Amino acid sequence: TGLEIVSSLPERVQLQVQGSSTKLDAFDLSGIAVVLNLSEVQGPGQRTFTIDHHNVRLPLGVRLIRAVPGQLRLEFDRRGTREVPVRVRFSGLPPHRYHMRSQEVQPAKLTILGPESRVRDVEFAETDPIELPPKAGEAEFRVNAFVRDPQVRFATPPSVRVKVVLETVAGVPR
């Protein structure tokens, strides 16, 4: 509770198992998972977990010979949350003869969460690129926001509403 895994996790663990051919043929062994009990992790830092028969659930009559890797070292950090401003990204400049009079983002800030050290480094959330309309006036867009750190996520859906007002620049020839 209150901790996040900071280290990267292996995509797979190779398990060498032994059992009768009828047992091995009868089960789809590709979906077997390694389940680690993290309840004894009390605070931030590194912890090493050994992969053995206690944390690999195999069908009756099949036994684990070895796992590669045989151990996993995980690093934990406290869970942090905070609000960050939403930065609007546009796919280009306003069309010729127009400028952006205003832009409004709702909500203007989003709550992020993840490992405290990573959350602290995030300065802003950024929207998907918005293409400005070809003429003056008001336009509204619904887009998603994004944070670059894959270990940081949003506490709520990252959808924002962006309202943009374009106006004609006086004295600029067509």
- At residue 32, the 3 state secondary structure works out as coil
Residue position matching structure tokens 């400005």: 132
Q: What is the pLDDT of residue 33?
A: 86
User: How would you classify the pairing of strands 125-127 and 71-87?
Assistant: parallel
More confident residue, 11 or 107: 107
Whole-prediction pTM value?
0.75
DSSP conformational letter for 158: -
C-beta neighbour count of 107 within 10 angstroms: 14
* Residue 171 pLDDT greater than 70, yes or no: no
Q: How far is CA 90 from CA 59, 128, 162, in A?
A: 54, 8, 11
Give the Cα separation of 31 and 48 in Å (integer): 24
Q: What is the pLDDT of residue 172?
A: 57
Check: CB of residue 125 under 8 Å from CB of residue 157. Answer: no
Give the Cα separation of 50 and 34 in Å (integer): 10
Q: Across residues 154-168, what is the average pLDDT?
A: 94
Give the Cα separation of 26 and 81 in Å (integer): 47
* Residue 149 pLDDT greater than 60, yes or no: yes
pLDDT tens digits along 52-106: 999 998 888 889 999 999 999 999 999 999 999 999 999 877 777 888 899 999 9
pLDDT tens digits along 96-136: 788 889 999 999 999 999 999 999 999 999 999 999 888 88
DSSP conformational letter for 49: E
In the predicted model, what is the mean pLDDT of the chain? 90
DSSP conformational letter for 2: -
- The beta-strand segments (E) located in 35-158 are 45-50, 63-68, 71-87, 98-106, 109-115, 125-127, 137-146, 153-154
